[in-house]
Amino acid sequence: MNNNIKNEINDLKKEKNAIILAHNYQPKEVQEIADFLGDSLELCIKASQLDDKDIIIFCGVDFMGETAFILNPDKKIIIPDLDADCPMAHMTTGEEVKVAKKKHPDAAVCLYVNSLADAKQYADTLCTSSNVVKVIESLDEDEILFGPDNNLGEYVSSKTFKKIIPITDEGYCYVHKKFTVQDIETKRKEHPDVEVICHPECDKVVQDKCDKVMSTGGMINYILDSDKNDFVLGTEIDIASRINLLNPDKNIIPLRDDAICDSMKIITLEKIRDSLKNEEPLIKLPDEIAKKSLKAVNHMLDASKN
């Protein structure tokens, strides 16, 4: 059954000159048919290099599709199910950024890429968890308004002398919020010599108890380069699918089995096939918002090169 759908997807992809991009948290069967897999930054860079494609199927969540649209306003950007939204991305609105800017007129605005274009249009730059320190250091200003992820904000605060000012009091990822210090203690007892790595979207107390804090792309590179095979990872469970596609010998132990991003899981092979067939649902943004947001996206891409 899956093989039939996979063949249909591959035929449609050729016929329509389409490419399938997928995030490291996508279900295994989606990762298997993707042309390109990556963390948020790698996907953003890839989306900026797709002049030769007519259709981009983005297997991820809303803000990722919007960013691909900002970079490619003339292409058809499709998320196979528009209900795939990132709750964190909705936690800082454009209005909240405007209010914060008025309160801190000398501060630059850096938004986590996990934000909607409604907010991105007022940002000076964006960041992901893999380039956040580089991006913040690239700014001339010493005060930085930051959102929506206040855990990532706290993480970068500890790595820079710049003053990081949260735009809103509450901004978090509900998946990474689940991890506790108790989870780490339990896993360390079960697997005494195994390194524990978590994502900077985890709470600071959890980050402090881990051996390393890394983006999903950072974890993948680190683990593939390591001589060791066993790792406990404090992030979304399907990171294991990505790592095992690259090296089946790696034994990825999830810090919690219920660290599941529901929105990432609603993308299925059937929905990918149907969206290719029907060329919908399309991601669209008003011209003005897309143009204004492009400035911040490009600033981040430039800062990531250095």
Residues that bind ligand SF4 (CB under 6 A): 61, 86-88, 114, 173-175, 201, 236, 261, 263-264
Q: Which is nearer to ligand SF4, 88 or 303 (CB)?
A: 88
Q: How far is the CB of 97 from ligand 13P (least distance, A)?
A: 20
Pick one of ligand 13P, ligand SF4, none as the site partner of residue 215 (Cβ within 5 to 8 A by kind). ligand 13P
CB closer to ligand 13P out of 9 and 237: 237
Q: Could you tell me the CA-to-CA distances from 231 to 79, 250, 262 in Å, in that order? A: 32, 8, 24
Cβ of 266: how many Cβ atoms within 10 Å? 17
Angle between helices 269-278 and 2-16 (to 10 degrees): 30
Q: Please give the residue ranges that form the binding site for ligand 13P (CB under 6 A).
A: 24, 39-41, 86, 114, 128-130, 173, 201, 215-216
Q: Between 107 and 175, whose beta carbon lies closer to ligand 13P? A: 175
CB nearer to ligand SF4: pick between 139 and 203:
203
Q: Which one of ligand SF4, ligand 13P, none is in contact with 87 (Cβ closer than 5 to 8 A by kind)?
A: ligand SF4
Q: Min. distance of Cβ 175 from ligand SF4 in angstroms?
A: 4
* The amino acid at 257: D
Select 12 or 252, whichever has its Cβ closest to ligand SF4.
252
Nearer to ligand SF4, 114 or 157 (CB): 114
Cα three-residue angle 281-82-15, rounded to 5 degrees:
35
Query: Alpha-carbon distance 185 to 208, whole Å?
Result: 12
Smallest gap from Cβ 201 to ligand 13P, in A, equals 6
Shortest gap between Cβ of 142 and ligand 13P (angstroms)? Answer: 26
Which partner in ligand 13P, ligand SF4, none is near 283 (CB below 5 to 8 A by kind)? none
In the list ligand 13P, ligand SF4, none, the entry touching 129 (Cβ below 5 to 8 angstroms by class) is: ligand 13P
Asked if 40 and 114 count as a contact pair (C-beta separation under 8 A), the reply is yes
- For the bound state, the minimum distance from the C-beta of residue 89 to ligand 13P, rounded and expressed in Å, comes to 8
- Kindly tell me which of 199 and 271 has the beta carbon lying closer to ligand 13P: 199
Beta carbon of residue 105, minimum distance to ligand SF4 (angstroms, whole number): 30
Does residue 62 contact residue 35 with C-beta atoms inside 8 Å? no
- CA–CA distances in Å: residue 37 to residues 44, 176, 250: 11, 21, 18
**Which of ligand 13P, ligand SF4, none sits in contact with 128, Cβ below 5 to 8 A by type?**
ligand 13P
Least CB distance to ligand SF4 at residue 154 (A): 16
